[in-house]
Amino acid sequence: MTSRRMVSLVTGTLVMAVLLPILLSIWLARYQAEQRFHHELASYTQRINQLASVVIDESKTALKDINRIDSQTCDPAHLQAMRRVAFTYRFVQEVLFVKGSQALCSSLEQESHVSPFPAPERVNSEGYRFWFTPSNDLGINHYMIAMSHRDHMVVLDPRSFIDVLPLASWSIDSAVIGLTRNRVVVSSAPLSLAVWQHMRDGNLTRYEEAGIVYSMLRNPQSNFAVVVWASSHPMKAASNQQLLLWLPVGILVSLLAAALMLRLLRRLQSPRARLLDAIHSREFTVCYQPIIRLSDDKFVGAEALVRWPQADGSLLRPDVFIPLAEQTGLISEITRLVIDKVFSEMGDWLHQHPDYHISINLAAEDIADNALLALLTARCQRYQVSPRQIALEITERGFADPQRTAPIVEQFHHAGHPIYIDDFGTGYSSLSYLQNLTVDVLKIDKSFVDALEYNAVAPHIIDMAKHLQLEMVAEGIETECQAQWLREHGVHYGQGWLYSKALPGNELQSWCETVRGSTVARAAR
């Protein structure tokens, strides 16, 4: 992945890192409040359902107890037994002795005056019969639940089914609904029948409408449903309280994540990251500046110069990014990229023109790269290019430690590659290393060529090169006077704008075809 894409990814991650913890804290606060609220409703529903089961089970036990009485006459012993059962079982309000559908006596009255009971609303699999009726011996218009088995009946107050205190700090209402006739048996507050029908038809266990949250639990054994409901305002208030707890945590996490992402973003946008991205993307291009033989103005070769294209269309010069590459340890990767491009662009052309050569610049770190010679050898064999057609230019800094570099340079030279000393006179102060190194060509720096008229350094360099039997290449020739002076003083080759600027590979080949058979100087004019 390129650093540009990585920067985009990190920028997007940065936005998410800032927003996500805050949004997550808001969601978490609401989620916890909702979970607690719904848990309280569900728990309350379950407790009412459990209480209803307890009431039903106790009623069954009470009926079994009274049915053990053998009396069928409502005599005092019989009445006393019914009163004892009504007193013993807390949910039983009244016990009746029933023949058919007519109550004969009860625990409240020796002779019952209750109207005959209609057919039971429900008979379960155990033979227990159920009614929801206002009939009682006291004449009070109050619906009660009646449950009978054999010849006895117990009467239950429906309110006992919902006599549960909510554990929550807010108000919760409840209702018990008979499923046979979909009738509200008991309710702590009015229940919307439309809501009940919607939950029943949709078989819903949870429903919310108009700021009210409903929870329902069916009891198939007793054929009733428990519905509880409460206002959602306490849930919203609890959500705000949770938000006061979680929001600072979310903001803190956002700040930490943002700091981490910004640090990573700055690293990805660093010059080294941009340089590494350019290497991996192979953004670097190679231009070739012609090298001319001064004695007859004939083209003999070119120096490969690496350039870094920028987004605005400009080309970044090596003196800007090469020092950065050397400082960051990326120079060897750039050198390998240049070698690949030189052979891919000019390899076939060099094979067709065995008298031409291309010189490639090496940094001090490149000399210590043991794999570099193997790479050059493999490329020469692949393109059938003679090693003498690939010259290696090494700056004086590369020879700062002659004892270490001399054997390596000798290996390059032994393989057939000509060795150039680049920018001579601008770097290493001692010149004694020239006597101990295998060097073929000495390049005179442009700064000395520019000062030929008033600086005596260039003649001394020329004399020393002649003494060491080194060929010379003068850089930065811009005028015919400079070329003439260098020619008269025995400099063999030159390069500069007098002849041509650095050209892309295809343009250099076309340029050579144009000037073939004529002198470069005349072609330039």
Task: Count the neighbouring beta carbons within 10 Å of the beta carbon of residue 340.
Answer: 14
Q: Token pair for residue 188?
A: 């702590």
pLDDT score for 52: 86
Identify the helix (H) or strand (E) that includes residue 259.
Answer: helix 233-268
pLDDT score for 258: 67
pLDDT value at 454 more than 80: no
> pLDDT for 305-320, tens place per residue?
998 888 777 777 777 7
> pLDDT for 35-80, tens place per residue?
788 888 888 888 888 888 899 999 999 999 999 987 778 899 999 9
In 160-223, where do the E strands start and end?
173-178, 183-187, 206-209, 212-219
pLDDT score for 40: 84
Alpha helices in 385-504 (DSSP H): 402-414, 446-450, 457-467, 480-488
Q: Residues near 108 by Cβ (< 8 Å), separated by ≥ 6?
A: 94, 137, 138
pLDDT score for 9: 57
Task: Count the neighbouring beta carbons within 10 Å of the beta carbon of residue 148.
Answer: 23
Better-predicted residue by pLDDT, 263 or 346: 346
pLDDT score for 402: 67
Question: What topology is assigned to 3-155 in CATH?
Answer: Beta-Lactamase (3.30.450)
**In degrees, to the nearest 5, what angle opens at C-alpha 49 toward C-alphas 45 and 50?**
115
Whether the Cβ atoms of residue 394 and residue 357 lie closer than 8 Å to each other: no
Could you tell me the CA-to-CA distances from 291 to 34, 389, 459 in Å, in that order? 81, 13, 21
pLDDT value at 303 more than 50: yes
**Single-letter residue type at 79:** L
pLDDT score for 517: 47
Better-predicted residue by pLDDT, 26 or 138: 26
Q: At what angle do helices 370-383 and 402-414 cross, to 10 degrees?
A: 20
Q: Alpha-carbon distance 297 to 269, whole Å?
A: 47
> pLDDT for 130-174, tens place per residue?
888 776 666 666 788 899 999 999 999 888 888 887 776 778 899
Per-residue pLDDT, averaged over 365-391, amounts to 90
Domain positions in the chain: 3-155, 162-234, 271-524
Q: Token pair for residue 252?
A: 């803190």
The 10 Å CB-count burial string (b at 16+, else e) for 220-258 is: eebebbbbbbbebebbeebbeebbeebbeebeebbeebb
> pLDDT for 413-445, tens place per residue?
999 999 998 877 655 444 556 666 778 999 988
Mean pLDDT of the chain: 82
Cα 494 to the center of its chain, rounded Å: 56
pLDDT value at 457 more than 80: no
Tell me the range of 15-19, 279-283, 378-382, 438-442 where mean pLDDT is highest.
378-382
Whether the Cβ atoms of residue 131 and residue 120 lie closer than 8 Å to each other: yes
Give the pLDDT band (50/70/90) at residue 128.
Answer: very high
pLDDT score for 422: 84
In 73-231, where do the E strands start and end?
92-99, 102-106, 122-123, 129-133, 144-149, 152-156, 173-178, 183-187, 206-209, 212-219, 224-231
> pLDDT for 235-279, tens place per residue?
777 667 766 666 776 677 777 776 666 665 555 556 666 777 777
pLDDT above 70 as % of the chain: 83
Per-residue pLDDT, averaged over 343-371, amounts to 90
pLDDT value at 1 more than 50: no
pLDDT score for 179: 82
| CATH architecture assignment, domain 162-234 | 3-Layer(aba) Sandwich (3.40)
pLDDT above 90 as % of the chain: 32
pLDDT score for 523: 42
- Mean pLDDT check: name the lowest of 84-98, 315-329, 436-450, 481-495: 315-329
Whether the Cβ atoms of residue 174 and residue 227 lie closer than 8 Å to each other: yes
pLDDT score for 430: 46
Instruction: Using alpha carbons, select from 306, 282, 286 the residue that is nearest to residue 507.
Output: 286
Cα 106 to the center of its chain, rounded Å: 76
Pick one of 3.30.450.20, 3.20.20.450, 3.40.50.970, 3.40.50.80 as the CATH number of 271-524: 3.20.20.450
Q: Alpha-carbon distance 505 to 345, whole Å?
A: 6
pLDDT score for 407: 83
Task: Count the neighbouring beta carbons within 10 Å of the beta carbon of residue 100.
Answer: 9
